[in-house]
Protein backbone atom coordinates (compact mmCIF):
# COMPACT_ATOMS: atom_id res chain seq x y z
CA UNK A 1 0.00 0.00 0.00
CA UNK A 2 1.51 3.25 -1.08
CA UNK A 3 1.03 6.60 0.54
CA UNK A 4 0.14 9.38 -1.82
CA UNK A 5 2.89 11.88 -2.35
CA UNK A 6 2.25 15.38 -1.01
CA UNK A 7 2.73 18.24 -3.34
CA UNK A 8 6.25 19.57 -3.25
CA UNK A 9 7.82 16.28 -2.15
CA UNK A 10 8.89 13.42 -4.33
CA UNK A 11 9.11 9.73 -3.47
CA UNK A 12 12.86 9.71 -2.85
CA UNK A 13 12.33 12.06 0.09
CA UNK A 14 9.88 9.62 1.68
CA UNK A 15 12.22 6.66 1.10
CA UNK A 16 15.08 8.46 2.82
CA UNK A 17 12.79 9.52 5.65
CA UNK A 18 11.36 5.96 6.08
CA UNK A 19 14.86 4.43 6.10
CA UNK A 20 15.92 6.85 8.80
CA UNK A 21 12.89 6.03 11.00
CA UNK A 22 11.76 2.42 10.46
CA UNK A 23 9.44 2.50 13.48
CA UNK A 24 7.42 5.29 11.92
CA UNK A 25 6.88 3.13 8.80
CA UNK A 26 5.53 0.32 10.98
CA UNK A 27 3.36 2.75 12.89
CA UNK A 28 1.80 3.94 9.65
CA UNK A 29 0.98 0.33 8.69
CA UNK A 30 3.33 0.04 5.80
CA UNK A 31 5.22 -3.24 5.40
CA UNK A 32 8.96 -3.11 5.87
CA UNK A 33 10.78 -5.55 3.63
CA UNK A 34 13.62 -7.67 4.99
CA UNK A 35 15.68 -7.16 1.89
CA UNK A 36 15.20 -4.46 -0.59
CA UNK A 37 13.85 -5.91 -3.80
CA UNK A 38 12.78 -9.34 -2.32
CA UNK A 39 9.01 -9.75 -2.37
CA UNK A 40 7.33 -11.02 0.76
CA UNK A 41 5.58 -13.81 -1.18
CA UNK A 42 8.95 -15.32 -2.10
CA UNK A 43 9.98 -15.34 1.54
CA UNK A 44 6.76 -17.13 2.49
CA UNK A 45 7.24 -19.72 -0.28
CA UNK A 46 10.83 -20.41 0.80
CA UNK A 47 9.79 -20.77 4.44
CA UNK A 48 6.92 -23.13 3.56
CA UNK A 49 9.28 -25.21 1.39
CA UNK A 50 11.84 -25.46 4.21
CA UNK A 51 9.23 -26.45 6.78
CA UNK A 52 7.80 -29.02 4.35
CA UNK A 53 11.27 -30.48 3.71
CA UNK A 54 11.97 -30.79 7.43
CA UNK A 55 8.56 -32.42 7.97
CA UNK A 56 9.13 -34.85 5.09
CA UNK A 57 12.55 -35.83 6.45
CA UNK A 58 11.04 -36.40 9.89
CA UNK A 59 8.31 -38.63 8.45
CA UNK A 60 10.84 -40.63 6.42
CA UNK A 61 13.07 -41.12 9.44
CA UNK A 62 10.16 -42.17 11.63
CA UNK A 63 9.04 -44.63 8.95
CA UNK A 64 12.53 -46.14 8.72
CA UNK A 65 12.78 -46.49 12.51
CA UNK A 66 9.41 -48.22 12.62
CA UNK A 67 10.40 -50.59 9.79
CA UNK A 68 13.65 -51.48 11.54
CA UNK A 69 11.73 -52.08 14.77
CA UNK A 70 9.40 -54.53 13.01
CA UNK A 71 12.38 -56.27 11.40
CA UNK A 72 14.13 -56.53 14.77
CA UNK A 73 11.02 -58.07 16.33
CA UNK A 74 10.72 -60.59 13.51
CA UNK A 75 14.39 -61.56 13.72
CA UNK A 76 14.15 -61.88 17.49
CA UNK A 77 11.24 -64.28 17.08
CA UNK A 78 13.16 -66.31 14.48
CA UNK A 79 16.14 -66.47 16.87
CA UNK A 80 13.92 -67.77 19.67
CA UNK A 81 12.49 -70.43 17.33
CA UNK A 82 15.99 -71.52 16.28
CA UNK A 83 17.14 -71.73 19.90
CA UNK A 84 14.13 -73.88 20.78
CA UNK A 85 14.85 -76.14 17.79
CA UNK A 86 18.50 -76.43 18.86
CA UNK A 87 17.42 -77.48 22.37
CA UNK A 88 15.03 -80.07 20.90
CA UNK A 89 17.75 -81.48 18.63
CA UNK A 90 20.23 -81.64 21.52
CA UNK A 91 17.70 -83.61 23.55
CA UNK A 92 17.11 -86.00 20.61
CA UNK A 93 20.86 -86.48 20.18
CA UNK A 94 21.35 -87.23 23.87
CA UNK A 95 18.51 -89.76 23.72
CA UNK A 96 19.95 -91.41 20.60
CA UNK A 97 23.32 -91.89 22.32
CA UNK A 98 21.81 -93.31 25.50
CA UNK A 99 22.54 -96.97 26.28
CA UNK A 100 18.83 -97.84 26.54
CA UNK A 101 18.19 -96.49 23.03
CA UNK A 102 21.16 -98.38 21.59
CA UNK A 103 19.92 -101.61 23.20
CA UNK A 104 16.40 -101.05 21.84
CA UNK A 105 17.71 -100.49 18.29
CA UNK A 106 19.95 -103.56 18.48
CA UNK A 107 17.08 -105.77 19.66
CA UNK A 108 14.16 -104.39 17.64
CA UNK A 109 15.71 -103.19 14.40
CA UNK A 110 18.82 -105.38 14.08
CA UNK A 111 17.44 -108.57 15.69
CA UNK A 112 20.30 -108.99 18.16
CA UNK A 113 20.02 -110.82 21.46
CA UNK A 114 21.93 -110.50 24.67
CA UNK A 115 24.74 -113.05 25.02
CA UNK A 116 24.06 -115.55 27.79
CA UNK A 117 27.27 -117.51 27.62
CA UNK A 118 30.74 -116.26 27.07
CA UNK A 119 33.42 -118.13 25.15
CA UNK A 120 37.12 -117.57 25.51
CA UNK A 121 39.59 -118.54 22.81
CA UNK A 122 43.11 -119.59 23.60
CA UNK A 123 45.80 -118.36 21.23
CA UNK A 124 49.14 -120.17 21.44
CA UNK A 125 52.28 -118.14 21.93
CA UNK A 126 54.74 -118.05 19.06
CA UNK A 127 57.71 -120.45 19.31
CA UNK A 128 60.17 -117.61 19.08
CA UNK A 129 59.99 -114.60 21.38
CA UNK A 130 60.21 -112.29 18.44
CA UNK A 131 58.66 -113.08 15.11
CA UNK A 132 60.92 -112.64 12.11
CA UNK A 133 60.26 -109.64 9.94
CA UNK A 134 58.90 -110.36 6.49
CA UNK A 135 61.29 -110.09 3.60
CA UNK A 136 61.18 -106.70 1.97
CA UNK A 137 60.64 -106.59 -1.69
CA UNK A 138 63.25 -104.72 -3.60
CA UNK A 139 61.64 -101.45 -4.45
CA UNK A 140 62.46 -99.98 -7.77
CA UNK A 141 62.98 -96.29 -7.93
CA UNK A 142 59.65 -94.59 -7.65
CA UNK A 143 58.91 -91.11 -8.84
CA UNK A 144 59.68 -88.30 -6.43
CA UNK A 145 55.96 -87.74 -6.01
CA UNK A 146 55.39 -91.37 -5.01
CA UNK A 147 58.16 -91.10 -2.43
CA UNK A 148 56.68 -87.91 -0.96
CA UNK A 149 53.20 -89.45 -0.89
CA UNK A 150 54.47 -92.58 0.85
CA UNK A 151 56.24 -90.51 3.51
CA UNK A 152 53.19 -88.34 4.09
CA UNK A 153 50.84 -91.29 4.46
CA UNK A 154 53.33 -93.46 6.36
CA UNK A 155 53.23 -96.33 3.87
CA UNK A 156 56.70 -95.92 2.48
CA UNK A 157 59.52 -98.38 2.95
CA UNK A 158 62.95 -97.72 4.31
CA UNK A 159 65.90 -98.43 2.02
CA UNK A 160 68.68 -97.80 4.50
CA UNK A 161 70.94 -100.79 4.90
CA UNK A 162 71.84 -101.75 8.46
CA UNK A 163 75.50 -101.25 9.25
CA UNK A 164 77.63 -103.98 10.69
CA UNK A 165 78.57 -103.42 14.33
CA UNK A 166 82.08 -102.07 14.74
CA UNK A 167 84.55 -104.11 16.75
Does the structure show a pLDDT above 90 at 82?
Answer: yes
| Mean pLDDT of all residues in 31-54 | 82
Mean pLDDT, the chain, integer: 77
Q: What is the pLDDT of residue 36?
A: 61
Does the structure show a pLDDT above 90 at 15?
Answer: no
Does the structure show a pLDDT above 90 at 59?
Answer: yes
Instruction: Give dist(CA 158, CA 150) in Å, integer.
Output: 11
Percent of the chain with pLDDT over 70: 62
Q: What is the pLDDT of residue 115?
A: 80
Q: What is the pLDDT of residue 44?
A: 92
Instruction: Give dist(CA 105, CA 9) in Å, integer.
Output: 119
Q: What is the pLDDT of residue 49?
A: 96
What is residue 38's DSSP assignment? -
Q: Which of 5-9, 82-86, 96-100 has the highest mean pLDDT?
A: 82-86
Amino acid sequence: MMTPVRPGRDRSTFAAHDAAEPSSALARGRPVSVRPGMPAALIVVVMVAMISAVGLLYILQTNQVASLGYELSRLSQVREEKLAEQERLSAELAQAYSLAEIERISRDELGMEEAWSKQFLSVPMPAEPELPLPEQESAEHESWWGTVWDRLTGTGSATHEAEEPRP
